[in-house]
Structure 1
Amino acid sequence: MSDLLDNKEAATQAVVDFLTKKAKNKSKFYIKDFYAIFPDDKPRAIKNVVNKMVQEGVLEFWSSGSTTMYGLKGGGKQHASEGEE
């Protein structure tokens, strides 16, 4: 494992920075998109970090039923329209 995944705060900040930088273009990302942030780590370790961030309320899941994506909590067009009728 890389030093980044060993340091939870640095890993969380790296993911938030990545998502914030990309937020102009899109708000939801596949798990494989996070692999670029931690190129020296195994996919399972990266998924554990991302899932922990969901549990902590930093990120949220979005699922279409067949696809699971992740985004910053409260971000994106769909989140803004939820609750409207």
Structure 2
Amino acid sequence: MALELNEAKQKIVDYCNSKSKTKTKFYFNDFTDLFPDEKAREVKKVLTALVNEGEMVFWSSGSTTMYGLKGAGKHAEGED
């Protein structure tokens, strides 16, 4: 089953917004769980499209890379 890009992007954004009161950063596996029938590579393509469009941003602790909605929570560009 191939992911429909716009539908998948909306599903990811809706998921992040639904968790925004308690969580602003998400592991890659949080998103693969949304699409259990898809390969991880297909989910990665959707997340990359969202980052490239500026809808989401990467956050890295140095050992772990996470994703978050732009402007939600604390991100690397706002840290010292």
* Secondary structure of 1:65 counterpart: coil
Q: Which runs of 4+ in 1 moved over 6 A?
A: none
Partner of 1:32: 29
Partner of 1:74: 71
Counterpart check, 1:53 vs 2:33: no
Consecutive unaligned residues in structure 1, runs of 5 or more: none
Consecutive unaligned residues in structure 2, runs of 5 or more: none
When the two structures are superposed, what TM-score results if normalisation uses the length of structure 1? Answer: 0.83
Q: How many residues align?
A: 78
When the two structures are superposed, what TM-score results if normalisation uses the length of structure 2? Answer: 0.88
Query: What is the aligned-residue identity percentage?
Result: 51
Quote the offset at 1:65 in angstroms.
1.2
Q: CA RMSD for the aligned pairs?
A: 1.5
* Secondary structure of 1:13 counterpart: helix
Separation in 2, partners of 1:12, 1:48: 10
